[in-house]
Amino acid sequence: MSKFLRYIFILLGISLLMLVVLDALYTYVYTHPRHVRNKVIWMKEIPSSEKFDYAAFGSSRTFYNLDPLQIEKETGLKGVNMGYPGANTFEIMLMVKMFLQKFEVKRIFIQVDDQYNKSHYDRTAIIPFMPFIHDDIIYENIKKVETNAVYLKYIPFYRYMKYDSKLGFRELMMTSFNEVNQFEVNYGYAPTMKKNMKESNSPYKFKLKDVKNKHIVELLRVCKEEQVEVMFYTSPIYNPEGNLELLNTHLPNYKDFSNSILAHDMFNDPYHLNTSGTKMFTNLFITTYFEN
Amino acid sequence: MIFNSLDFALFLPLVFVLYWFVFNKSLQRQNILVVIASYVFYGWWDWRFLSLIIFSTLVDFFIGKQLGKTLSSSKRKLLLWGSIVVNIGFLGFFKYYNFFVDNFIDAFALFGQQISPNSLNIILPVGISFYTFQTLSYTIDVYRRRLEPTKDIVAFAAFVSFFPQLVAGPIERATHLLPQFKHKRVFNYTKAVSGIQLIVWGLFKKVVIADNCAQFANDIFENYNQYSTATLVLGAVYFAFQIYGDFSGYSDIAIGTSRLLGFDLMKNFATPYFSRDIAEFWRRWHISLSTWFRDYLYIPLGGSRGGTFMVIRNVFVIFLVSGFWHGANWTFIVWGFLNALYFLPLILLKRNRVHTNTIAENTWSPSFREIIQMGTTFALTLVAWIFFRANSVTEAFQYIKRLLLFELDMERLTIERFSVEILPLIALLVVIEWFSRNKEQPLQNVKYPMLFCCSLILLIFMFGSYSQLYEFIYFQF
């Protein structure tokens, strides 16, 4: 039996060592990329001396649908697109908090749509925050929505395993080999949606519940404290069928653009504009918010 | 409680320590611990259904005792049927009640009659098909006088509820497992280490292969009408490896866990995807169920005795019952029927026992002929798996119809949130299994077992799927 216990302890010891090494390796690669791979690390890399007139936050529907370079060219206003795929209101709130901690900005835009009712974070979109879980602002906020937050912080590698360690592995590889990310040179916008969607009659259906979102409430509180103006908007959707008007009752300065673009060839898919659609929507965005 | 959970990671060491260090003074105490641990393990899922296991245990224990005392063959037959009615009655009620009611309604609707008997909101008790068959094997063997009825109710309760194999097998025979509860278990280092190795190998198959394949397979099967031929073929392949990794992984962990406690369970899978025909496949896939049906249904029906027609009839009965055992859905019945059809040419040509040895037994590579045979058998099983996985028979046919359009877009390989890492991992599994096809388990007799074991653990950490906890597929059966 003692020989077996020794075997088990060696196996457990090696396993623990592997977890520690993997955790250190993944964290190092995430935090020291050759080229930034996500918006969280990108935000950390931008020097705090950088000045912005506005910042836009949201999901892939901000990431792919709003071009700050075009806005700068036409209005002279310098802004940044902090949207990224999968982000729910929790991740958006956390991004806003981290952004305001580092930069001064007078106005921010928050894209909301059918993710408004989601109160937990997205299991993929949270991954970029995981290397920084020891940062107070990230840990304290994650703790509010995740009962296992303490394990994420203290069990080596658990933070990467829980939210799909394969993604971490892919990041590891991509960080070593990949070229410059397009959003790095476009103020956060990724001009990669180039497909023209086929015409379709089937609507994009959703139904919002009439409840307050605690992360939006928190976001409004922080912005009020920092005296930052917040504008909420919904990005275009192809053939939407829902109750977005409900957001008017919960969000100040809300503007619904969901029906603003109708042509199918402006979309990559029902939820994302292609590059032509983005150009059109960014123009509409400029007219609505920056021309007065 | 499921094997790939933190709960089990704490439960198993605790049971191990209590079993070998606290309750090791007597056999009876160890058996009591096994019963308690097994009930905790099962009750973790839903304690209310423990009553079913306890009831089944008591019924079969007392029927077994009566069978031992009774000489009258009519009384013995009555007792046997009593056990069958109780056990199959529970199984029928919990698993098939709604199926029969729904089909009854549909049948009447065909003739324009609208009836509305009540469907019940019945929860299917986890593992009921497994422990029911296990207890039945006891009663039948006692009835056939192949086994002396036990007088030790604790040992019998431990046999029925033995937690490593309680909810998804291997379905043990009373003749094999029950005697092990009656002899003192002595700790054996080699056996325990092989148990750990099997647990690690089983976890690799479950969390790395099965759960990753599940993400792809689920997505493809749920949205099959959007995908082209190449993706639909991939979907079927992913499901084939999902179900294999899931079920054989569970069996390996079950066998490994039992070894830690000094027990031997029967082998349930023997590299089935290397089979050269469908008969060989069924000798290597879910062995404990196939042999159960062989011993308690096929042979009593006449087996291979009698003419060709009789054999064909028996094979169809076995596969249809096996399909129905898997679930109360026509998809499983069609799956069983399809497998019986595959058997047909082998029976007619009397070639169903040609491949009884291991493929490429004395060489490292298969011959061209063997590759073709393996590929054909695998393709046949893929078609059958489509029925097994689809939500309905209609969906399965539509899936196959789309598959036959021969479009070659590989769109599922390029979607952002899904990755291709799983394909090399499946290839790794196939290679490891190929080189260990003659062994009891892949880590047996390797040059550096600790290095091999640690490499598997590393892969489990790096590529395991933990974001969604997938239950083992066979729990639902």
pLDDT of residue B414: 47
Confidence of residue B304 (pLDDT cuts 50, 70, 90): confident
Lowest mean pLDDT among A70-74, A168-172, B74-78: A168-172
Q: How far apart are CA B403 and CA B233, in angstroms?
A: 7
Q: How far apart are CA A132 and CA A139, in angstroms?
A: 8
Convert the pLDDT of each residue in A107-163 to its tens digit: 999 999 988 888 888 878 888 898 899 999 999 999 988 888 899 899 999 888 887
| Helices and strands (H and E) in chain B: how many | 19, 0
Lowest mean pLDDT among A28-37, A107-116, B96-105: B96-105
Residue A85, chain B, CB below 8 Å: the answer is yes
Q: Which residues of A touch B463 (CB under 8 A)?
A: 165-166, 169
Inspect the interface and report whether the beta carbons of A166 and B463 lie closer than 8 Å: yes
Contacts of A202 (CB under 8 A, 6+ apart): A239
Pairing of strands A107-111, A54-57: parallel
Residue A87, chain B, CB below 8 Å: the answer is no
Q: Which residues of A touch B189 (CB under 8 A)?
A: 1, 3-4, 7
By C-alpha distance, which of B168, B211, B256 is closest to B453? Answer: B256
pLDDT of residue B448: 86
* DSSP H or E segment with residue A32: none
Confidence of residue A292 (pLDDT cuts 50, 70, 90): low
In B, residues 309-348, which contact A (CB 8 Å cutoff)? none
Q: Which residues of B touch A124 (CB under 8 A)?
A: 417
3-state secondary structure A76-87: CCCEEECCCCCC
Residue A14, chain B, CB below 8 Å: the answer is yes
Convert the pLDDT of each residue in B399-453 to its tens digit: 999 888 877 766 555 444 455 678 889 999 999 999 988 888 887 778 888 899 9
**Coil, helix or strand for A133?**
coil
Q: Which residue in A14, A152, A160, A164 has the most chain B C-beta atoms within 10 A of its own C-beta, making it the best mutation to test that interface?
A: A164
Q: How does DSSP classify residue B175?
A: H
Q: Give how far B188 is from chain A: nearest CA, Å.
A: 8
Residue A19, chain B, CB below 8 Å: the answer is yes
Select the residue of A4, A85, A123 nearest B192 (Cβ to Cβ): A4
pLDDT of residue B124: 66
Inspect the interface and report whether the beta carbons of B461 and A170 lie closer than 8 Å: no
pLDDT of residue B417: 44
Average pLDDT (B449-464) is 91
Q: Which residue in B466, B468, B469, B470 has the most chain A C-beta atoms within 10 A of its own C-beta, making it the best mutation to test that interface?
A: B466
By C-alpha distance, which of A144, A158, A148, A17 is closest to A93? Answer: A144
Q: Give how far A130 is from chain B: nearest CA, Å.
A: 14
Inspect the interface and report whether the beta carbons of B421 and A169 lie closer than 8 Å: yes
* B477: pLDDT strictly greater than 60: no
Q: How does DSSP classify residue B275?
A: -
pLDDT of residue B275: 93
Convert the pLDDT of each residue in B202-261 to its tens digit: 999 999 999 889 888 888 888 888 788 888 888 899 999 999 999 999 999 999 999 999
Contacts of B281 (CB under 8 A, 6+ apart): B272, B275, B377, B381
* B262: pLDDT strictly greater than 90: yes
- This complex has an ipTM of 0.81
What burial letters (b/e) apply to B418-443, b meaning 16+ CB within 10 Å? bbebbeebbebbeebbbebbeeebbb
Inspect the interface and report whether the beta carbons of B462 and A22 lie closer than 8 Å: yes
Q: Which residues of A touch B465 (CB under 8 A)?
A: 164, 166
Residue B81, chain A, CB below 8 Å: the answer is no
Q: Give how far A78 is from chain B: nearest CA, Å.
A: 30
Catalytic residue numbers of B read 326
Q: Which residue of A has its CA nearest to B457?
A: A15
Convert the pLDDT of each residue in B34-68 to its tens digit: 999 999 999 888 888 888 899 999 999 999 999 98
Q: Which residues of A touch B458 (CB under 8 A)?
A: 18, 22
Which range marks the domain in which residue A204 is found? Answer: 2-289
Residue A169, chain B, CB below 8 Å: the answer is yes
* B358: pLDDT strictly greater than 90: no
Residue A11, chain B, CB below 8 Å: the answer is yes
Confidence of residue A179 (pLDDT cuts 50, 70, 90): low
pLDDT of residue B35: 95
* A41: pLDDT strictly greater than 80: yes
Q: How far apart are CA B181 and CA A54, in angstroms?
A: 73
* A194: pLDDT strictly greater than 90: no
Average pLDDT (A261-274) is 89
Chains A, B: CB contacts within 8 A come to: 62
Residue B187, chain A, CB below 8 Å: the answer is yes
Residue A243, chain B, CB below 8 Å: the answer is no
Lowest mean pLDDT among A180-184, B313-317, B389-393: A180-184
3-state secondary structure B184-251: CCCCCHHHHHHHHHHHHHHHHHHHHHHHHHHHHHHHHHHCHHHCCHHHHHHHHHHHHHHHHHHHHHHH
Residue A84, chain B, CB below 8 Å: the answer is no
Mean pLDDT score of chain A = 88
Total domains present in chain A: 1
Inspect the interface and report whether the beta carbons of B454 and A170 lie closer than 8 Å: no
Average pLDDT (B308-331) is 87
* B168: pLDDT strictly greater than 70: yes
Q: How far apart are CA B211 and CA B204, in angstroms?
A: 10
Higher per-residue confidence, B57 vs B70: B57
Q: How far apart are CA B172 and CA B133, in angstroms?
A: 9
Mean pLDDT score of chain B = 87
Residue A270, chain B, CB below 8 Å: the answer is no
In A, residues 54-83, which contact B (CB 8 Å cutoff)? none
Q: Which residues of A touch B193 (CB under 8 A)?
A: 4, 7
Average pLDDT (B320-347) is 89
pLDDT of residue B416: 43
Residue A13, chain B, CB below 8 Å: the answer is no
Q: What are the residue ranges of helices labelled H in chain A?
A: 2-31, 39-45, 60-63, 68-75, 89-102, 136-145, 149-154, 158-162, 165-177, 214-225, 247-250, 275-289
pLDDT of residue A25: 87
Select the residue of A4, A14, A169 nearest B189 (Cβ to Cβ): A4
pLDDT of residue A195: 77
